[in-house]
Amino acid sequence: MGFFFWIRSRERAGKDPLLSIRLFRNRTSNLGLVTQNIQWLILQGSFFVISVFLQTERFQTTPQLAPIQTGLSLTPATIGILLSSAIAGRLAKRRSQRTLIRAGFLVTIVGMLLLFLSLLTTSILAFIPGLLLMGLGVGVMLTSSVNVVQSSFPEKDQGEISGLSRSVSNLGSSLGVAIAGSVLVTSLVPEIKTYPLALITLVVIACIGLIAALLLPPNPVQSGTATQTGEIEGKA
């Protein structure tokens, strides 16, 4: 919030801001940024929760190998992201960007719920379906969200909106680890219950992302297009 007021004061003073506040006046772009932020939040947050859980609850007998075993256990999510990203281009030719984002959130939420159930079992293999689905869901909507955001602005604004998009993604990753970590260290519930609580918290946030995806308009209009059209019609 402080950053927003700072750049607004610079614009009003006639100085060059680091980022123009007019970029935040496009509803489609704002919703796309929300979905983009939440995608990285739930991905990194879930990875953090599962990594800590596996190393402290499943691989505690071999602490020297726990990091390697944990990395291998997360492989299904990576495979899911790679597979869905590889076919994202073909899917985009058949379905709209907002449809892919919505579908991605739904698949991701299902995967996270399966991960929640996996925490209640003793089998490492039980994590595979949830991680795979989460990876598939996130991989489908990552590119689509970026496309929604950047296609909302003309060519001259691509440098600024691209930087904003990347910053929002990084912020989401940081928030995911911070929120999940805060839940894991809470003293309000027994330690063993903090892992399911952290995942449920991330599921709730994923549902917020789905709501944002449902609010995306069917036919996004670039910022400035409506104004330019109105001016042309007025002159005519």
User: Could you tell me the pTM of the whole model?
Assistant: 0.84
Select from 91, 195, 71, 83 the least CA-distant residue to 138.
Answer: 83
Query: What's the CA gap between 134 and 58, in Å, rounded?
Result: 21
Which tokens in the block code for residue 228?
A: 């330019």
The span from the CA of 22 to the CA of 27, in Å, is 11
Amino acid at 232: I
User: Could you count the other beta carbons within 10 Å of the beta carbon of residue 159?
Assistant: 9
Enter the DSSP assignment of 95. S
Q: How many residues does the chain have?
A: 236
Q: What is the pLDDT along the chain (236 residues), one digit of tens a residue?
A: 676 676 777 777 777 766 777 788 889 999 999 999 999 999 999 999 999 998 888 787 677 777 888 888 999 999 999 999 888 888 888 888 999 999 999 999 999 999 999 988 888 889 999 999 999 999 999 889 988 998 888 888 888 888 889 999 999 999 999 999 999 998 778 877 899 999 999 999 999 999 999 999 886 555 554 433 333 333 33
Cα dihedral sign, 71-72-73-79 = positive
